Amino acid sequence: MILVTGASGFVGAAVICELARRCIPHRPVTRMPREGCFHIGDIHSATNWTQALKGIETVVHLAARAHVLKESVADQANRSSLSDVGATMNLARQAAQAGAKRFVFISSIKVNGEATPPGRPFTAEDPADPQNRYAQSKFDTERGLFALSAETGLEVSVIRPPLVYGPGVKANFATMMDWVNRGIPLPLGAVNNKRSFIFVGNLSDLIVLTAAHPRAAGQIFLCSDGEDLSTTELLRRIAQELGRRSRVMPVPAQLLTFAAAALRRREVTSRLTDSLQVDIGKTRDLLGWTPRWSVQEGLQETARWFQGADLALDPIARSA
């Protein structure tokens, strides 16, 4: 039996669908009452997980606050208790005491850093370089979990995804799709970066695999769709899937960076102009995992959902 926190969230809902598709017993956990889910209430360092953990062998911990384009230092400092180190450690300790065997923690590629040099993607073995409080809290949680594993024998697996997209996406990716759909001219037509993304169907597939694979214990995994795109190319492909005209203007990236610095919005522009690539070689080799959906398929599904088309497919219900 697998317990999944954050089951009503964007990624959590996809994981629940994937578990159901594979007929794997699971227990969805949500903060708010929801039919078919275990209601836990607020998740913090004193949450009592006793009832939720009965009969559980594996915990997949997804409950967390997503980062957003306009996140400020104050926002980071006041982040939700869901992403608090103490809240996750409390759950993990109780899981170990209840007899659970494995704990899968969904972290963030931000633990590795905010950007990569051209042609030098992050790897799972790279030293951590968290650059804001959100990333630091993820890294602190990872270290706490591995320490707990050494103490109790609870198997810990960590997944650090880049930006996740797919039907139901919010935050950064939804903002970009809205820009394109509304035909807003964007000064991003000369951005020559490379960024990794992962479709929610691919991420949920990897999470379910990691929850059971014997070689996943004690490991950190990076993931992506296996095809990196520049911001310019991403916007053009989104426009194509939405049936919209691509309206990206070739403004030099250096000028964008200068303007952003003058407006004190460097962190926003950097996510659009810097590169952030990940190497998924370890994930492929150790787990035998390959992305089930291509970038094109992922964008098609996301565009159908965004437009509210009746023929939109459930990305998890699809089988190869």
Over residues 146-202, the pLDDT tens digits come to: 999 999 999 999 999 999 999 999 888 888 899 899 898 887 766 788 999 999 999
User: CATH code at 281?
Assistant: 3.40.50.720
Active site residue 165: no
Closest to 101 measured CA to CA, from 171, 222, 204, 2: 2
Mean pLDDT of the chain: 86
Closest to 140 measured CA to CA, from 212, 69, 79, 98: 79
Which residue has better confidence, 143 or 176? 143
Asked whether the beta carbons of 254 and 171 are under 8 A apart, the reply is: no
SS3 69: coil
Find residue 165's DSSP bridge partners.
Answer: 199
Domain assignment present for residue 214? The answer is yes
Q: Is the dihedral of CA 83, 212, 290, 203 positive or negative?
A: negative
SS3 104: strand
Through-space distance between the first and last CA atoms of the chain, rounded to whole angstroms: 25
Asked whether the beta carbons of 229 and 194 are under 8 A apart, the reply is: yes
Residue 225 tokens read as 């769709």
Active-site pick, 10, 38, 105, 134:
134
Q: What is the pLDDT of residues 208-244, one digit of tens each?
A: 999 999 999 999 999 999 999 998 999 999 999 999 9
Residue 56 region by backbone torsions, left for phi larger than 0, else alpha for psi between -120 and 50, else beta? beta
Closest to 207 measured CA to CA, from 279, 106, 297: 106
How much is the average pLDDT of 15-38?
A: 94
Domain assignment present for residue 93? The answer is yes
Q: Fill in the amino acid letter for 79.
A: R
Domain assignment present for residue 132? The answer is yes
pLDDT band at 247 (very low <50, low <70, confident <90, very high): confident
Domain assignment present for residue 303? The answer is no
Asked whether the beta carbons of 109 and 162 are under 8 A apart, the reply is: yes
The length of the chain is 320
* CA count, 13 A, side-chain hemisphere, 205: 23
SS3 85: helix
Asked whether the beta carbons of 114 and 127 are under 8 A apart, the reply is: no
Note the pTM of the prediction, 2 decimals: 0.87
**pLDDT over 80 (residue 312):** no
Domain assignment present for residue 165? The answer is yes
Q: Looking at residue 70, what is its pLDDT? A: 47
226: Cβ contacts below 8 Å, ≥ 6 apart? 280, 290, 291
Q: Looking at residue 184, what is its pLDDT? A: 86
Q: Looking at residue 187, what is its pLDDT? A: 73
Domain that holds residue 206: 2-169+196-227+277-293
Residue 319 tokens read as 């089988």
Alpha helices in 153-216 (DSSP H): 171-181, 200-212
How many domains, in total, are found in the chain?
Answer: 1
The β-bridge relationship of strands 102-106 and 58-61 is parallel
The DSSP code sequence of 114-159 is S---TT--B-TTSPP---SHHHHHHHHHHHHHHHHHHHH--EEEEE
Domain assignment present for residue 300? The answer is no
Domain assignment present for residue 182? The answer is no
Domain assignment present for residue 91? The answer is yes
pLDDT band at 251 (very low <50, low <70, confident <90, very high): low
Asked whether the beta carbons of 289 and 213 are under 8 A apart, the reply is: no
Distance CA 277, CA 45 (A): 34
Give CA separation, 260 vs 96, 197, 250, 263, 271, in Å. Answer: 47, 24, 16, 5, 12
Which residue has better confidence, 28 or 320? 28
Q: Looking at residue 173, what is its pLDDT? A: 86
Q: Looking at residue 77, what is its pLDDT? A: 46
